[in-house]
Structure 1
Amino acid sequence: MAPVDIEDVWDMLGFGRMQLAIFFTCCVLQMYVSNEQLGLSVILVAGAGELKIDNERMGWLIACVFFAQVIFGHYFGYMTDKIGRLKVLFRTLIMTILSSFLSAFMPEYWSFLVLRFIVGVFITGLAVTLLTYLSEFCSLALRPKVHNFVSYSIGVSMIYVPLAALSLMYLNVHVHVWENYEITNWRVLILINLLPGILGVCLLYRLPESPKFYLSINKHEEAMVVLEKCCSVNKGKNVTLASLGVDKVTQSRLRDSQIEHN
């Protein structure tokens, strides 16, 4: 039997429970990305006095974070094609959460800047990969709609961060640690912004790698395993790919394993 194009397989499987789980996970990750990217401006206003951040320092801090995203965007795009979408998502998510968590406890400007630069480096992996990962589980017809709905998570983040900041302002958090160092509102806000990322770690842990990635590196058996799992989750355990007339899958523009890339 001739191989079936993977796009036709997605048309057969539809947008079921597997896609909903991946869609929800990507919404949570997109919200976390926006928390880190856009929430920094709120954090800096609150922490400017404690970290002695004037207008020049604030400009350098914001520029440094976005500069990290610009210079590492190409690298993480390359890595998603080399080691897989899920590995890049999971590893960069862990590193982003860890570096952001540490930045919440930095006592002065320069250590805070270094750690926020590291956040900018790893948040890039999430930003450039999550939509690719989601789209590779959806049919061509659904991809624009799915991407559009995921973008609403940015709006949710724009409500979440200011609302959390407003709540903390009324709480007026001041926990003395040593000498002049205190845990104050803006440090707690960084930790609150981490919550969608922590949820994202739990959700990503149970999701499969993209079958399109497996096909691109000539791992057809692994791709079939993922597709079989999607089939059982969406259609029920009694439905298999074979029962739908699919014994082997392929996709256009498969990578040539003989080509060496530099």
Structure 2
Amino acid sequence: MELDEALKAIGFGCGQVLVLVFSSLANLLAVNETFGMSIVVVASSCDLETTAGQKSLMMTAMMAGMTISGFYVGYLIDIKGRVRILRWMLLVTILLSVISALMPEVYSLSAMRFLVGVFLCGPATCILGYMTEFSAPHARPPLVVLFSLGVGISLIYCPLVAKFFLPERICANEDGSYVVRSWRFLMMLYTLPGLFGLLGLWFLPESPYYLMSVKRKEETYEVLDWLCRRNRKQIEDLNIDLLDFPRDTIVAKANYFKLVWNDTIRLVKPPYCRDFMVCTLLSFGMFLISLGLGMWYPLLRNQDNSQHRLLCDVLSQPKNFDQPKSNVSATNEMPNFTDPLYYGIAYILFYFLALFLLVFISRKHVFVVYVSLAAGCGLALNFIKEPIVILICFSAMMILPGVLIILVSSVLVDCMPTQLRAKALSLNKALSRLGAIIGCLLVGLLLKVSCLVTLNIFVAYLIFCIILCFLLPK
């Protein structure tokens, strides 16, 4: 039988749950390292005496590392094995993150965050592929939704820990000496989920799909036996006799650049080109909308809309723009962490809604529903003036695409063959992150020229994404 059929016969049980839990903890580390840095940048501003440019450097250093290393990490995971590379990358990521928390000044901290990004790329991008390869295809969509809950949990975990751990004032002592302050311990606390995930991954087996793709059939039977025993079944009772796994290149005798070039060309040629391009354009749009609009969110929350103005009137002509807080409070007081908590709760609720919808409709139609709702909210922002409704529509337009980011990756996992899966995920994420950069540039450059045009560029791409959703494979 095919490996898909064997996993279907084994069924879903404790074995898949263990893989899901520890993979989710590794993913939680990736989100903590990304989102938590936005809190650390504020909390460390007084100690490190950072300028706006230095804050941006601290925020983007890790993203730059992830982008540069992305495709090479995918190549390693496809060639050397899933769990082996992920274990070592998690270990090095945690160690580098702890070391970065002890750096005395901005540039050494930013350099360490860059290195964190280089190694974090594996857990952030390819852990999803590893997790899904222990389950039959029909079980993967709801499993990916449960895996995605880590994003919402992290969006709650980071501000909640900061709320109870950080002091109300950033500067307790301004003598300029090196002191291990609370924000440094906060960075270490953000690595805790990854540490638990690493301990779990150290005892989990290799992906059965990878083992079959490199002709290690006996080890594949051992992994299937591991799953059976944890699912309270006997592999002998299932009469599993696996067919050989078709693969054009196992470990080709060629240099790295030739291997990467050959596999990249295969991604943009039939039969994989259509699915890869659709998923990449869709993922690009999800990053564009969710992170591009995120730049507007703090500005919107700080405005007074008691006069019931349109969104673009609020953003283009903020009422209290000329009434900033005093410099002392602006630099010394920690921000309010209540909004991020609500944001994380909203993410979790939309993930559960997606899980509920998957019971009744296909994954493709869940995409259509979510993207259509986001586009409808974007169109509504051109007309509505009620402050609460503006906030709800704006938040929904930003959160709904964000929820779909990992779900798009799950479609790519099902479309790509095992030997190209990690490389496809890595290249997809690298290209998609350009969407976040372009979204931020759109807001920064066009907002002052025409807020209405800027908003409707996002809406237009959402409408384009609805068409892309119908082109997704089943």
* TM-score, length of structure 2 as denominator length: 0.51
Residue segments in structure 1 that go unaligned for 5+ positions in a row: none
Match for 1:245 among 239, 260, 274? 239
Aligned mates of 2:125, 2:179 — CA distance in 1: 36
Task: Report the residue type matching 2:47 in the other structure.
Answer: E
Equivalent residue, structure 1, for 2:106: 109
Q: Please state whether the residue corresponding to 2:166 is helix, strand or coil.
A: helix
Equivalent residue, structure 2, for 1:161: 158
**Per-residue deviation at 1:103?**
0.7
**Superposition map of 1:1-262 within 5 A:** 4-170=1-167, 180-236=177-233, 239-240=234-235, 242-251=236-245, 253-257=246-250, 259-261=252-254, 262=258
**Per-residue deviation at 1:202?**
1.2
Kept in 2, the 8 Å contact 1:27–1:150? The answer is yes
**Per-residue deviation at 1:249?**
4.1
What do the CA deviations read for 1:149-194 (whole angstroms, capped 9, x no partner)? 1111111001111011111124879999x98111112101001101
Kept in 2, the 8 Å contact 1:27–1:153? The answer is yes
Kept in 1, the 8 Å contact 2:41–2:59? The answer is no
Change (3 A) 1:105 1:175: farther
Judging by fraction of residues, say which structure has more strand.
1
RMSD (Å), alpha carbons: 2.1
Kept in 1, the 8 Å contact 2:70–2:122? The answer is yes
Q: Among all aligned residue pairs of Structure 1 and Structure 2, give the percentage whose two residues are the same amino acid.
A: 30
**Per-residue deviation at 1:220?**
1.0
Equivalent residue, structure 1, for 2:432: none
Q: Please state whether the residue corresponding to 1:110 is helix, strand or coil.
A: helix
* TM-score, length of structure 1 as denominator length: 0.91
**Per-residue deviation at 1:74?**
0.6
Change (3 A) 1:174 1:221: farther
Change (3 A) 1:94 1:175: farther
Change (3 A) 1:257 1:76: closer
Change (3 A) 1:256 1:104: closer
Task: Report the residue type matching 2:99 in the other structure.
Answer: L
Mark the structure with the bigger radius of gyration. Answer: 2
**Per-residue deviation at 1:124?**
0.3
**Per-residue deviation at 1:259?**
4.4
**Per-residue deviation at 1:89?**
1.1
Task: Report the residue type matching 1:70 in the other structure.
Answer: T
Aligned mates of 2:251, 2:19 — CA distance in 1: 33
Aligned mates of 1:173, 1:20 — CA distance in 2: 41
**Per-residue deviation at 1:254?**
2.3
